[in-house]
Structure 1
Amino acid sequence: MRIIVTKSYDAMSMTAAKIIAGQIYLKPNSTLGLATGSTPLLMYKKLIDIHKSIGLDFSAVTSFNLDEYIGISPENPESYHYFMYNNFFKYINIMPKNIYIPDGMAADINKECHDYDQLIKNNGGIDLQVLGIGKNAHIGFNEPDIKFETTTHKVKLDDETIEANSRFFADAKQVPRYAISMGIKTIMFAKKIILLANGKNKAEAVFKAVTGKISPAAPASILQLHQDVIVIVDKEAGAMLPHVEN
């Protein structure tokens, strides 16, 4: 595990964008695992800038998103479909047929989860997976539990996660209680993983992920077992980490 502590959120975002750009230059038909939320937002803007300024080509790239709320349509401004298209996809030349996001409106959620994993497998797996981290050390929507959920699955969101996500909704009661999420096994099969975190409210979660006991009580801690993980944080999120690279 490589740990990079940057001076700012902007620097964190640019560092991550450069790694993703390098991945695409080296393998134009890369498969990317993508995350939503406020943490990767500036990273996506940096990638858009790189695409527009020097022609970073996404035309052969395939993307799989980590998760999606259950019960929210893709047209809903709070859906992760909407987030990805309006903050990233519509500004680059990725092919719509190569974009995959779980369908939270599927009639059979269990089948949707199974089929999503099969699509990832059929595509040859994920080359580079981007992750954020929750204050409770969740990754994707894999909440603290007594076991690691392996494959893509339906998950009941913790109260802490619902509270954290309520800032994106007009009313906390509007936050969905369930979501579809890639499981830990699905994530861990990615060839390379980037974990992003910024802000002092993420410092404890980052500490648990990087130096804590490997336990489903802190889902991100499983990343310690992956062979190629880069943790990129700003100085506030990395405040509790010893012996870091600046």
Structure 2
Amino acid sequence: MRLIKVADYEEMSQVAATILLGAMYREGRVNLSITGGSTPKRMYEILVPSVRAARPLGHFDDVHFFNFDEIPYRAEDREGVTISGLRSAFLTPAGIAEENIHPLDQRNYTERDAYLKSIGGLDMIVLGLGWDGHFCGNLPGTTHFGDGTCRVECDDYLRSRLVDEFERGEVDVPDYYITMGPRAIMAARELVMIASGEKKAKAVAKLLSGEVTEEWPSTVLTLHPHFALIADEAALSEVA
């Protein structure tokens, strides 16, 4: 793996934006899966002006975007939390065409791995890191390293972890969510993970410890031949 040490959240966001933009400029079809949540917010703010300026010139017409997990609404009558967040943070402001957006959801997840293989696979995934070592929807005890894209049933604890994602709270929290499992993520050509802040320090230390264990799911990513971790000083504060 490659460790990219940066000073702070701003530098982490700048470096990640540069890497992602570079991937978007590659020739031919480019398949990218990008992360939601709060950590990539600044990365997307940096990217949007560059992407919007380049699109009228014909750049990025063959760059396709995928979400790697999804939390559906209980009523299932609207798009899920993840793709909605990605639209708001990046896809819509950047002017990404609808035909270049490929939502993963509860209706198509059983076919997603085969579909990705049929279009040449994912070229890059940009991932966040959870305080408990999770990546995507692979929380400790929910999936195994050999799992592809799958449905994860929610117990009370998992439902409590999801409730803050919904404005109306528990009424909208589903009994399951969808995620690309470790095997599906490891099939991508490149993995880039971003980590910032002291809350991620223990997870980063475990990630860099050399031990691979399902108790800290993200440790499996260190086995990928092209895995880069961009971490700031606070996130690296517990690394020996």
Give the TM-score normalised by structure 1.
Answer: 0.85
Q: Does the CA-based 8 Å contact 1:155-1:179 persist in structure 2?
A: yes
Q: Which residue, out of 199, 204, 207, partners 1:206?
A: 204
Q: Does the CA-based 8 Å contact 2:72-2:81 persist in structure 1?
A: no
Residues 61, 221 of structure 1: alpha-carbon distance in 2 compared, 3 angstrom cutoff = same
Q: Does the CA-based 8 Å contact 1:209-1:221 persist in structure 2?
A: yes
Aligned equivalents of 1:20, 1:218: Cα separation in 2: 26
Question: Does residue 83 of the first structure (1) align with residue 85 of the second (2)?
Answer: yes
**In the alignment, which residue of structure 2 is the partner of 1:151?**
148
Letter in 2 for 1:94: I
**In the alignment, which residue of structure 1 is the partner of 2:97?**
95
Bigger mean CA deviation after superposition, 130-139 or 170-179: 170-179
**Matches of residues 13-52 of structure 1 in structure 2 within 5 Å?**
13-27=13-27, 29-52=29-52
Question: Does residue 196 of the first structure (1) align with residue 194 of the second (2)?
Answer: yes
Q: Which residue, out of 134, 138, 142, partners 2:134?
A: 138
Residue 5 of structure 1: CA displacement?
Answer: 2.2
Which 4+ stretches in 1 moved above 6 angstroms? none
Aligned equivalents of 1:209, 1:197: Cα separation in 2: 11
Residue 227 of structure 1: CA displacement?
Answer: 0.5
Aligned equivalents of 1:239, 1:133: Cα separation in 2: 15
Q: Does the CA-based 8 Å contact 1:135-1:201 persist in structure 2?
A: yes
Structure 2 alignment gaps of length 5 or more:
none
- Aligned-residue CA RMSD (Å): 2.4
Residue 176 of structure 1: CA displacement?
Answer: 3.5
Structure 1 alignment gaps of length 5 or more:
107-111
Residue 182 of structure 1: CA displacement?
Answer: 0.4
Q: Which residue, out of 52, 64, 74, partners 1:62?
A: 64
Task: Give CA-to-partner distance per residue, 1:54-98, whole Å, 9 cap, x none.
Answer: 66933210111110013454746x711211111111122433122
Residue 241 of structure 1: CA displacement?
Answer: 2.5
Tell me the SS of whatever aligns to 1:26. coil
Letter in 2 for 1:188: M
Residues 70, 234 of structure 1: alpha-carbon distance in 2 compared, 3 angstrom cutoff = same
Aligned equivalents of 1:120, 1:27: Cα separation in 2: 18
Q: Does the CA-based 8 Å contact 2:33-2:125 persist in structure 1?
A: yes
Aligned equivalents of 1:15, 1:120: Cα separation in 2: 27
Residue 226 of structure 1: CA displacement?
Answer: 0.5
Residues 81, 154 of structure 1: alpha-carbon distance in 2 compared, 3 angstrom cutoff = same
Residue 172 of structure 1: CA displacement?
Answer: 5.2
Aligned equivalents of 2:146, 2:162: Cα separation in 1: 22
**In the alignment, which residue of structure 1 is the partner of 2:11?**
11
Identity of aligned residues (%): 31
Letter in 1 for 2:84: Y
**Matches of residues 113-132 of structure 1 in structure 2 within 5 Å?**
113-132=109-128
Residues 133, 156 of structure 1: alpha-carbon distance in 2 compared, 3 angstrom cutoff = farther
Residues 221, 158 of structure 1: alpha-carbon distance in 2 compared, 3 angstrom cutoff = farther
Letter in 2 for 1:147: H
Residues 159, 210 of structure 1: alpha-carbon distance in 2 compared, 3 angstrom cutoff = farther
Aligned equivalents of 2:196, 2:215: Cα separation in 1: 21
**In the alignment, which residue of structure 2 is the partner of 1:180?**
178
- How many pairs were matched up? 235
Q: Does the CA-based 8 Å contact 1:9-1:198 persist in structure 2?
A: yes
Give the TM-score normalised by structure 2.
Answer: 0.87
Residues 38, 28 of structure 1: alpha-carbon distance in 2 compared, 3 angstrom cutoff = farther
